[in-house]
Amino acid sequence: MGFYKRDLDLVEGMTLYDVDTKSIGILIRRFSTREAHAREYDGYSSIPYELVWELDNYVTYVWESVWSKDGRVIYSEDGLRNLIKAGIVIILDNYTDNEKANNQ
C-alpha cells in the first residue's frame, strides 16, 4: 500500500461522490469506536462487531455518512481516506482554511 497525505481533512457536511455507484454522500459526524462501544447506538443502524472491537490502547475513528442510494453508511476514517486516494470516492467540496475553521 502506498503512502498518502495524512493532512487530508474530512469535515462534517463535506459532499462526496462515489464513482462506482454514482451516489452522492454527505459526511454527518466523526466518532471513535470507543465512543460507540461506551454507549448503545440509537438502534436505527447497527454497527458491525468488527468496527467496535478494540484493544485497550487502540481507537479507530469512523465517519457516519448519508448516501443518495445506500442511506446511512459508516466508514472507518482510514478506509474512507483509502477510497478517496484510489479515486473511488471524490470530494466535491473545496474547503479553504477559513471555511474549515468556521465549521469547527
DSSP 51-66: HH---TT---EEEEEE
What would the pLDDT profile of 38-53 be if each residue is shown by its tens digit? 555 555 555 555 555 5
Number of structural domains the chain divides into: 1
Can you tell me the distance from the alpha carbon of 76 to that of 32, in angstroms, rounded to the nearest whole number?
9
- Do the domain assignments include residue 75? yes
pLDDT at 16: 95
- Do the domain assignments include residue 1? no
Structural contact between residues 58 and 50, judged by C-beta atoms closer than 8 angstroms: no
Give the N- to C-terminal CA distance of the chain in Å, as an integer.
31
- Do the domain assignments include residue 48? yes
- Do the domain assignments include residue 53? yes
Low-confidence ranges of the chain (pLDDT < 70): 1-7, 34-57, 94-104
- Do the domain assignments include residue 49? yes
- Do the domain assignments include residue 26? yes
Spacing of C-alpha 62 from chain mean position: 5
